[in-house]
């Protein structure tokens, strides 16, 4: 699984990256986490509001910082 955290480096974007790492670690999820800060790459993913997150190239979150429980539901299948 590849998870991309999309954001320009604002506090919410950094917090989302921390939460993703924590949820994956706590649930023993084998994944590659990439932080994408390039605005052109973010826009090419179809994201207009950050923070955002993709899982295997599919945008699953945009424009808000989820709670740890909400994030877990998105990642853990």
- CA–CA dist 28, 45 (Å, integer): 27
Cis before 51? omega within 30: yes
**Is 61:7 a contact under the CB 8 Å cutoff?**
no
* Angle at CA of residue 65, ends 15 and 46, nearest 5°: 105
pTM comes to 0.92
| Inter-residue contact 43 to 15 (CB < 8 Å) | no
> How is the chain split into domains, by residue range?
2-75
List, for the chain, all residue ranges whose pLDDT scores fall below the cut of 50: none
Position 77 scores a pLDDT of 74
Tell the CATH superfamily of the 2-75 domain. Glutaredoxin (3.40.30.10)
């Amino acid at each position: 699984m590849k998870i991309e955290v999309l954001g320009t480096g604002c506090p919410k974007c950094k917090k989302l990256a921390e939460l993703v790492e924590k949820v994956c670690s706590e649930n023993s999820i084998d994944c590659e986490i990439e932080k994408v800060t390039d605005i052109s790459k973010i826009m090419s993913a179809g994201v207009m509001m950050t923070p955002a997150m993709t899982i295997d190239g599919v945008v699953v979150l945009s424009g808000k910082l989820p709670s740890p429980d909400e994030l877990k539901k998105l990642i853990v299948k």
